[in-house]
Structure 1
Amino acid sequence: MLLTLGMLGWELCLLELLSGGFGVPASALAPRLARDAMLLFPLWLVALWSTRPEKPRDAAALSLCFLLLLLPVAAGRALVQRSQARPSSSEAAEGQAVSATTRTLEDEGRFLCATVNADVSAVSPEPANDSLVATAWTGMRDALLLQVPVLPLTLLLLRRRSRPAASEARAATPALGPLIFLGLLCGWSSDGGPPAPRVSSPLEREAACRPGAPVRTYSVAAISVDLPLNAHGDHQPQGLMYVLEERLPAVREQERRPWPERTAPGLHGEPIQPLVLRANLGECLLLHFTNRLATGPAALRIEGLPATVRGRGPEGGFVPGTAVPPGQGLTYVLSLPESAEAEGTYLLHDSEEGGAREARGLFGALVLEPAGAVYSDASTGEPLRHGAGWEALIDVPTGEHFRELVLLYHALGPPEAADVRTASGAPLPVLDEMAGPFRTGAFGVNYRSEPRFDREELLPEEHEQRPASRRGLATPALRSYLGEPVRLRIAHAGSAEFHVHHLHGGNERRGGGEPPRLLSPGRGQTLRLGKPGDFPRAPGSFLVHCHVPNHFTGGEWLEWHVFSARQPGLAPLPSPR
């Protein structure tokens, strides 16, 4: 019993050291400790029965026996937790925001043996995936942390056991210490009543959000990825991206596909795409950010929105835009504005000077939707589980429904810096046109690029190897039905070069199409289209591109398909109220 109490006390010390402090009610902490005691106590019984220690010199054997018992048990517990931690689809109460990505563990339980899990972002280096092996290893790693006090505890108790019997009663008196210590800690912040409603963690309780504001949470990581550009096999091998934590295994799976299968026409539902998050006006937005790059710092900056940043660092905290080293994380807390004028697109990007990491893909977008909006999948019409993606159907309780399409124009750098390669690893060619030299494939939309040059002349082998069936455009295919409201969100991401969004509508001299839109670095615009009398006025396919000549030739172009009849894989907007 004393050994078990000593281990629970050590877990509480780990909780204090690794999770940022207490403030945890007994109603949340005590059940977890009780589950751990039920796990540890029988292990100690087996270890004591196996070694039958009598003298202090037996402490090493007892410690080793306990460790050998604990490792498989902790690994098995981690696998059980992994299966139980999968996010489940649940409906929120009316008027409440849904957590966009379910956090699998509460912070106060994160380092207790009973809640080991593969996602221990505050102490773990970048996890390559969410495999069974990685999860089991996380459980064993936490077991090694728990093993630290075992030898000192066993030495202390065996030394006292070896004393004369007359002193045993006096020696047992200090054993009340762990009981008193445990009781005080379990009573921390407890008033004896039911637990108060919580947001998600002590970090959120400290946030400067409006009282009663709905809370929306995303868990985001910065990762390295081989970014595919098109079906030709062009790619950016040293790419970077932001990704939802729960989507990381899907990204790695797409990254392992053979080149002909790594992209699909239209960019519908592929895991490797820029991170586009959504939140509603007036909500409290929590972005849990983790740097999962192998080397180098990373940050998550929200351009144009103030944020409070919480985290543990050398000076006890962070300021907005501060980068964190690999394996560490922090939480951005944003009290989103309530004014309807704040609706629109805000760039997510790294804080690095010069934008080299942004040019490699470390950017995304946060779209602020009307208050109370509900998001649906543009392909199926089902609720949008992650709350993320470049296309969605937006249901506004007090307004009209609309289809939302998000385009992020970006440049991968000047010709001497843009690391854009063919499937064979050769650099894509440099062309010199009216605006100067540029590397083909160095300009894209939503991580995809369709450079326009003579591949048969410059890359004959590459052209012959590519299957003809895979020649559909990999850039985003905009889709809508004639007459439905569309909000096209366009934004500038990446380098300091300007982009000019232009939508062609057939005969430009007769007023088809839209005027060009200049995009400044880091800025976004919303174009409201689709209503009767607006563009498009008829079904068909229309060209969308960057009006800068080199950008168009370099890969920044796509198509918008407007349909008059129901199409498979394209959900219509709900009927107007």
Structure 2
Amino acid sequence: MRRFLSLVMASGLAVTPMVWAAEQHDHHSSVDQASAKKVVHRAGGSILHDRMMEEVKRQQDFMGTKGGYSTGADSHMLQQGVLLVAEDSAKVTVAGGQRCPANVPVKEYHVSAINIEITLSRFLDYFPGYMYVLRDDLDKARAEEAANKAARDTENDPGAVSNGLQGDVIQPLVIRANQGDCLKLTLHNDLADEATNLVINGSSMVVAATGKPATPSNSETTVAAGKQQSFEWYIKPDTQEGARFFRSHASREQFNQGLIGMLVVEPNGSRYLSPFDGKSMASGWEAM
């Protein structure tokens, strides 16, 4: 009798977990089925794919108008991917950044974005491109452009292109500011019928009028043709020294064809002197 009762109790203990597990399975199944009914499936993948293909076609059509370099530029463009920005700018929000304190040194630059023929070497190979240039150097840039153009029709004339771009205005813009400075930069868009911008990588630059970050996703960063926008960046005293790359994010063509440059953060109190005459210089890669 005792053996019989032991077997019954053991059987009950074995069966109970199985029954409980089955009940739990049924419960979870019903919950999963109910949850599945609430899932909303959207064709997000196909929408993004269509937008990507439309953008690729737009860029290919644009590059096809650029002449002899269009094949190489088109191949490069396809390797870089496509930036899918929000169709509705109201959906993109940015928070406020830090403004410059009133009692810090100021480094101020007025920069123009221009269309210009960029001569690549003393063999006078060139392409129609873009460039950032200090407004004070605009006349010098146009004079170099004219000299290079005239030199193409003259034998053994290197034009205005020096060895190593020493002192040449037609080159990527390099500007400087020190740790602890307030960088004030005004971008003047002198391009022909194109909006543009200037975004400094690794910076905390803000739009001066609103204090919002000067990022590609902030529409206030982009400047329409013929307009200008002012920015500022308080470079804190403990900011890492070194070069910050800047570029146009308005279009791939502007970036690929010349709208690039460098902001160099120098130690507090630094001066930037020309290696040619020892005088202060506002821009250029060869400052000492």
For this structure pair, what is the TM-score category when the shorter chain's length is used for normalisation?
0.5 to 0.7
Per-residue deviation, 1:336: 0.5
1:250 aligns to 2:250 (yes or no): no
Equivalent residue, structure 1, for 2:229: 330
Alignment gaps of 5+ in structure 1:
1-206, 394-577
- 1:389 corresponds in structure 2 to 284
**What amino acid sits opposite 2:136 in the alignment?**
E
Find the aligned partners of 1:363 and 1:289 in 2 and give their Cα distance.
Answer: 13
CA distance in 2, matches of 1:381, 1:302: 28
Distance 2:226 2:167 in 1: 28
Per-residue deviation, 1:356:
2.3
Q: Residue 165 of structure 2 aligns to which amino acid in structure 1?
A: L
Aligned to 1:368: 265
Q: CA deviation at 1:284?
A: 0.4
Partner-residue secondary structure (3-state), 1:392: coil
From 263, 278, 284, give the equivalent of 2:182: 284
Cα gap change, 1:311 to 1:236, in 2 (>3 Å):
farther
Distance verdict in 2 for CA 1:281–1:296, change over 3 Å: same
Asked if residue 357 in structure 1 is aligned to residue 254 in structure 2, the reply is yes
In the TM superposition, 1:168-317 aligns within 5 A as 208-237=99-128, 239-257=129-147, 258-259=150-151, 260=157, 261-311=159-209
TM-score (norm 2): 0.59
For residue 371 of structure 1, give the secondary structure of its aligned residue in structure 2: coil
Give the TM-score normalised by the residue count of structure 1: 0.30
Tell me the percent identity: 33
Cα distance change on mapping 1:208 and 1:383 into 2, 3 Å: same
Equivalent residues of 1:310, 1:318 under 8 A apart:
no
Moved over 4 A (4+): none
What amino acid maps onto 1:298 in structure 2? T
Q: Which amino acid aligns with 2:230?
A: T
Match of residue 166 from structure 1: none
Aligned residues: 180
Alignment of 1:355-504 (within 5 A): 355-384=252-281, 386=282, 388-393=283-288
Contact 1:209 1:334 in 2 (8 A): yes
Structure-2 change in CA distance of 1:310 and 1:210 (3 Å): closer
- Please tell me whether the aligned partners of residues 205 and 213 of structure 2 are also in contact (alpha carbons under 8 angstroms): no
Go from structure 1 to structure 2 and tell me whether the alpha carbon gap of 1:381 and 1:318 turns closer, same or farther (over 3 Å shift): closer
Q: Which residue, 310, 320, 329 being the options, matches 2:215? A: 320
User: What is the rounded CA distance, in whole Å, between the counterparts of 1:336 and 1:270 in structure 2?
Assistant: 28
State the structure with bigger RCO (CA 8 A, min sep 6), 1 or 2: 2
**Greater helix proportion:** 2
Q: Retained in 1: the 8 A contact 2:173–2:261?
A: yes
Q: Secondary structure at the match of 1:270?
A: coil
Q: Unaligned regions of 5+ residues in structure 2, if any?
A: 1-97, 152-156
CA distance in 2, matches of 1:285, 1:362: 20
Alignment partners' CA distance in 2, 1:211 and 1:246: 26
Deviations 1:223-279 (A, max 9, x none): 000000011121112x10000001001100111112331312221111111110010
Q: Whole-Å Cα distance in 2 between the matches of residues 213 and 236 of structure 1?
A: 42
**Closer, same or farther: CA 229–373 of 1 in aligned 2, 3 Å:** same
State whether structure 2 residue 234 is matched by structure 1 residue 339: no
Take 1:318 and 1:305, find their aligned partners in 2: how far apart are those partners? 9
Cα distance in 2 for partners of 1:368, 1:310 equals: 20
Larger radius of gyration: 2
Q: Deviations over 1:164-215 (max 9, x none)?
A: xxxxxxxxxxxxxxxxxxxxxxxxxxxxxxxxxxxxxxxxxxx811341111
Task: Output the amino acid matched with 1:363.
Answer: I
For 1:209 and 1:390, locate their aligned partners in 2 and report how far apart those are by CA, in whole Å.
26
Paired with 1:363 and 1:383, the residues of 2 have a C-alpha distance of: 23
Asked whether the equivalents of residues 254 and 272 of structure 1 are also in contact (C-alpha less than 8 Å), the reply is yes
